[in-house]
Amino acid sequence: MITPVPPILNRVTYLHLSGKMWPEVTILSKLNEKLRILMANQGWSQKRLAERMFVSPDTVSSWVRGINHPTLETVKELCEIFCIPIEELTNDNIDVPEYKEVERELPYPICCYPEERQDTEHIIIDAALANEGMLHRFTNAGGAECSAIYRGGTEVWWHYREREAQMIRDWNREYAHD
């Protein structure tokens, strides 16, 4: 006797990601919004993401507008580029936080280097950091885009901007209970 396929499997394609089975419909329903947020958090245009992914800007535009969806392999590449776990990008029950620039004077100095080694002006970003951390974005004296987490007047962690999301996740994981 042949066992019939459950009706849900006739209508939904399932994908195997990180040891779990996910319905493709669920995976892709918020993907375009999450990509928009991730690009905005990095300050990236669709063109810049397209260059990083080696695809055309029209391809990225179609993902952001929800017209087309990236392949599973491309989703994995996006996760690597944005330094996020695949579940964060593919699971509709997990939100991607939006970072907002904060306009205020700092209560502490941020640099004591000689003038030739100083960073550009730091922009403060509200990234919902644990333990009173403050995210700073700046360009270092060598021209690289960087991010740092300060607590009080002390720079605690820094990284190149492309690894900012991972730095934030690590910070919040380490200090979530302080």
Looking up tokens 């006797």, which residue turns up?
1
Per residue in 121-144, pLDDT (tens digit) is 888 888 888 888 888 888 888 888
Measure the CA–CA gap between 178 and 176, rounded to whole angstroms. 6
Per residue in 26-84, pLDDT (tens digit) is 445 788 999 999 998 888 899 999 999 999 999 999 999 988 889 888 999 999 888 88
Measure the CA–CA gap between 125 and 150, rounded to whole angstroms. 11
Residue ranges of the chain that CATH labels 1.10.260.40? 9-90
Measure the CA–CA gap between 127 and 118, rounded to whole angstroms. 24
> pTM to 2 decimals?
0.63
Measure the CA–CA gap between 93 and 48, rounded to whole angstroms. 28
Instruction: Answer whether residue 86 shows pLDDT above 50.
Output: yes
| Second-level CATH architecture of 9-90 | Orthogonal Bundle (1.10)
